[in-house]
Homo-oligomer: A and B are copies of this chain.
């Protein structure tokens, strides 16, 4: 099957290129870029010289849409919804890595992102792309809303705990998350230049990060009105997210672990650990590592993912594999 990437020159785009090159069922047939159309991909990412010297095309969907069967969208929100709408209506499989179809409530989306949702009729058709939770729905859709990076690290362990009433009612759920700088994208700003990010750590978006709405929205499917207190931090590493999650529960460690293990039984990329997760263990992989610690009424759940892979491009391909009914590991190990 032929694959296209719309907006291929950001960090999620280059990871998709690398995965598709290794994927035995996908052939990369078209890549686009607004800023770099006409350049070879390897001019933008010199690491790929000899691996991907394809020329980037303009985002002209009339032309581009004919060149592939499945499209991965690596566009900013708002731009993504419009592109998705066109490609979906042309019968393409669309895997959108933006936030535009993650929250399938038009009002909540618009309140969170401050823009009108102009493809809201698709919101009901889009499936949230946490690959291990929404597996059955992913098989039946052609519009996948790739899960957010922070949300993947938080929703994956909490979803089964909420489904199984492991977390005490009306009690705190706190997710203290730390992300590598690639999460901020490739656009140069005073926040992500080397001398400002290196040898530092700081929280940002306290009580106000957009992923909080996504986290609460998806978790509320497991249990109504779930609210997570979520604090992201900017961490001086290239890639990876570690989330330290605090919950109150009267259940013991075994019950907590069992709920997670049962939910993800047989799922290769969810790894329960006995030791403590670390970003280093999951960097450059599609794994999500999870460990549970318990004392008194508090459980601490630690998760780690690669923000660009399980948190974006690799999970997107995993969803594609599931949708196509092929081994979910294809191209990913």
Contacts and interface: CB of A to CB of B under 8 A. Distances in A.
A29 to B, nearest CB: 20
A237 interface: yes
Contact of A206 (B206, B237, B273, B276): B276
A235 to B, nearest CB: 6
Given A194-B193, A231-B300, A246-B172, A51 B333 contact: yes
B280 A200 contact: yes
> Considering residues A242, A244, A285, which has the most beta carbons from chain B within 10 angstroms of its beta carbon?
A244
Given A174-B246, A199-B199, A244-B176, A285 B186 contact: no
A38 interface: no
Contact of A279 (B201, B239, B293, B295): B201
A207 B46 contact: no
Contact of A178 (B178, B239, B304): B178
Nearest to A269: B50
A4 interface: no
Interface in A291-305: 293, 295, 298, 300, 302, 304
B242 A195 contact: no
Contacts of A248: 172
Interface string A21-51: 0100000000000000000000000110111
A47 B206 contact: no
B300 A202 contact: no
Contacts of A277: 202
A113 interface: no
A267 B166 CA distance: 46
A217 to B, nearest CB: 18
A271 interface: yes
Interface in A198-232: 198-204, 206-207, 229, 231
A283 interface: yes
A282 B198 contact: no
A237 B200 contact: yes
> Considering residues A46, A275, A285, which has the most beta carbons from chain B within 10 angstroms of its beta carbon?
A46
Nearest to A284: B284
A201 B186 contact: no
A188 B193 contact: yes
Contacts of A271: 49-50
A115 interface: no
A238 B201 contact: no
The 3 nearest A-B residue pairs measured at CB: A188-B188, A202-B278, A200-B280
23 contacts: A47-B280, A47-B281, A47-B282, A50-B268, A50-B271, A176-B176, A176-B244, A186-B190, A188-B188, A188-B192, A193-B194, A198-B198, A198-B236, A198-B237, A199-B240, A199-B279, A200-B237, A202-B277, A203-B242, A203-B276, A203-B300, A229-B246, A233-B244
